[in-house]
């Protein structure tokens, strides 16, 4: 009887069941440990606040800042932001700056900018290139570092000198008849590399697909110029700007205190301008597109704990941010895909947003995103935007965040979105204290 039971016992099956149970117990243990680790890391999510936000004026292409490198403009913005924050320079643990057209600037542009601003030699620096979204992405990446507790005080922003971008030629023996020069503004900043045409052609595609007319774009551009003019005349924009002094040989320094571009419009010519990127039935013109410009912006971000330690009063807090991507040709509408991610992450409704900043790469960009997001145009770019003020591409994303910081009222939400070449967009939500 005993032999029968012994012979009928399924040793192989028992071993398999034992191994299965053992592995399940081990997996459960690993999952519990992983869960505890997630809880531990989640507890490191520090509240991130903005304690200062400044920018330089924006110079016209080959205008007042034509002799000023992007790194110098960046230094002025960083120095101004740290001074406005009222903190010792030694408190800044790291700096991120957006910069797109870097050819000829020298190594590590952000490092040059922070040292020029008087920050310590021990301060690390990173330069961010996400095309037009570079300045905003720098803020987002700095916020991530602060949220994780990796740093507690940082500077983030963006800088660009489109006036100083060089022409280049291929490193090869020149053919008979001369060499071919390429403009790096166009090649590295304004060309869709996937479709081999200018970003303006992408804007034309969006205008067609969104049924946005030339007249609508012209009207938007005129409104942008009018809003910018009113904002400068009322002092709204002056509060976010630090002056730039430009040395002249044998002459007094020139001090630039305001943007140059918004003064250069002739409204009577706007409807008469030719379309630039599409000859037949084109809608995008020099007037309803943004311009080439120079400038820099910087913000000081820190954890709420650091603000308390340094006795600094926060201006706003960072609530949520997100990126999105679409087909490269559709880059103008990419913000409409990033914004819902931000609203969902923050559990905030679009109706709760008091102020919207959508970067005016082209007038059609803002018009298309207003339509897709179904938002109130009276809350969008209330003081004008890149069409009238200028679009130094590495700076703009930081500029519009800083603008919200200064113009929201206590408790209000502000949401900024910016498209970028390649089909991308970044978006960020802040709340004013």
Tens of pLDDT, residues 44-84? 579 999 999 999 999 999 999 999 999 999 999 999 999 99
Lowest mean pLDDT among 33-42, 149-158, 178-187: 33-42
The answer to the question of residue 180 being in a domain is no
Cα-Cα-Cα-Cα torsion 375, 270, 235, 49, nearest 10 degrees, comes to: 40
Which candidate in 150, 202, 391, 406 is catalytic?
391
DSSP secondary structure letter of residue 47 = -
The answer to the question of residue 29 being in a domain is no
202 is catalytic: no
Distances (CA, A) of 249 to 61, 252, 253, 300: 22, 8, 9, 34
132 is catalytic: yes
Tell me what the mean pLDDT of segment 301-328 comes to. Answer: 98
- Containing structural domain, residue 122: 48-165+289-432
The answer to the question of residue 189 being in a domain is no
Percent of the chain with pLDDT over 90: 86
419 is catalytic: yes
How many other C-beta atoms are found inside a 10 Å radius of the C-beta of residue 378? 7
The answer to the question of residue 328 being in a domain is yes
Phi–psi pair at 36, nearest 5 degrees: -65, -35
Give the span between the Cα atoms of 64 and 162, in whole angstroms.
12
Which candidate in 148, 150, 202, 419 is catalytic?
419
Which tens digit of pLDDT belongs to each residue from 221-279? 999 999 999 999 999 999 999 999 998 888 899 999 999 999 999 999 999 999 999 99
Q: What CATH number should be reported for the domain holding residue 427?
A: 3.40.47.10
Burial of 379 (0-12, 13-18, 19+ CB in 10 A): middle
Using only the alpha carbons of the chain, give its radius of gyration. 26
Q: Structurally, how many domains does the chain consist of?
A: 1
The answer to the question of residue 281 being in a domain is no
Which candidate in 5, 132, 150, 202 is catalytic?
132
The answer to the question of residue 159 being in a domain is yes
Burial of 63 (0-12, 13-18, 19+ CB in 10 A): middle
The pLDDT value recorded for residue 137 is 99
Residue with tokens 């309803």: 288
Nearest 5°: the CA angle 233, 393, 433 is 60
The answer to the question of residue 65 being in a domain is yes
Do the bridges between strand 251-256 and strand 293-303 make them parallel or antiparallel, or are there none, so unpaired?
unpaired
Distances (CA, A) of 7 to 13, 16, 141: 13, 18, 67
The answer to the question of residue 381 being in a domain is yes
How many other C-beta atoms are found inside a 10 Å radius of the C-beta of residue 168? 15
- Backbone dihedral region for residue 268 (phi beyond 0: left; psi -120 to 50: alpha; all else: beta): alpha
């Amino acid at each position: 009887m005993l032999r029968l039971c012994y012979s009928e016992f399924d040793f192989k099956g028992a071993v398999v069941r034992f191994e299965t149970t053992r592995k399940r117990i081990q997996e459960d243990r690993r999952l519990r440990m992983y869960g505890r680790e997630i809880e531990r890391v989640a507890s490191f999510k520090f509240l991130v606040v903005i304690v200062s936000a400044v920018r330089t004026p924006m110079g016209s292409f080959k205008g007042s800042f034509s002799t000023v490198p992007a790194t110098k403009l960046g230094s002025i913005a960083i120095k101004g932001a740290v001074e406005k924050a009222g903190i010792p320079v030694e408190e800044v643990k790291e700096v991120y700056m957006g910069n797109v057209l870097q050819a000829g600037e020298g190594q590590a542009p952000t490092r040059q900018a922070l040292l020029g601003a008087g920050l310590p030699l021990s301060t690390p620096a990173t330069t961010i290139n996400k095309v037009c979204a570079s300045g905003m992405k720098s803020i987002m990446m700095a916020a991530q570092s602060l949220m994780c507790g990796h740093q507690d005080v940082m500077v983030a922003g963006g800088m660009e000198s489109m006036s100083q971008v060089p022409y280049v030629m291929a490193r090869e023996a020149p053919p008979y008849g001369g060499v071919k020069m390429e403009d790096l503004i166009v090649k590295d900043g304004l060309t869709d590399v996937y479709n081999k045409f200018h970003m303006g052609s992408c804007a034309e595609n969006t205008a067609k697909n969104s049924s946005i007319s030339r007249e609508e774009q012209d009207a938007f551009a005129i409104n942008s110029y009018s809003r910018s003019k009113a904002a400068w005349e009322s002092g709204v924009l002056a509060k976010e700007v630090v002056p730039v002094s430009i040395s002249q040989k044998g002459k007094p320094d020139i001090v630039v205190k305001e943007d140059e571009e918004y003064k250069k419009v002739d409204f009577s010519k706007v409807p008469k301008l030719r379309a630039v990127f599409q000859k037949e039935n084109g809608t995008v013109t020099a007037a309803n597109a943004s311009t080439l410009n120079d400038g820099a912006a910087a913000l000081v971000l820190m954890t709420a704990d650091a603000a308390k330690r340094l006795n600094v009063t926060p201006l706003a807090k960072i609530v949520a941010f997100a990126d999105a991507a679409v087909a490269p040709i559709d880059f103008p509408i990419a913000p409409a895909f990033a914004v819902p991610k931000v609203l969902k992450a923050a559990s905030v409704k679009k109706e709760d947003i008091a102020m919207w900043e959508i970067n005016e790469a082209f007038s059609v960009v803002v018009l298309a995103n207003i339509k897709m997001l179904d938002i109130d145009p009276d809350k969008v770019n209330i003081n004008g935007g890149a069409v009238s003020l200028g679009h130094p591409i590495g700076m703009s994303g930081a500029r519009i965040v800083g603008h919200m910081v200064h113009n929201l009222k206590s408790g209000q939400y502000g949401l900024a979105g910016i498209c970028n070449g390649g089909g991308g967009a970044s978006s960020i939500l802040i709340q004013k204290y």
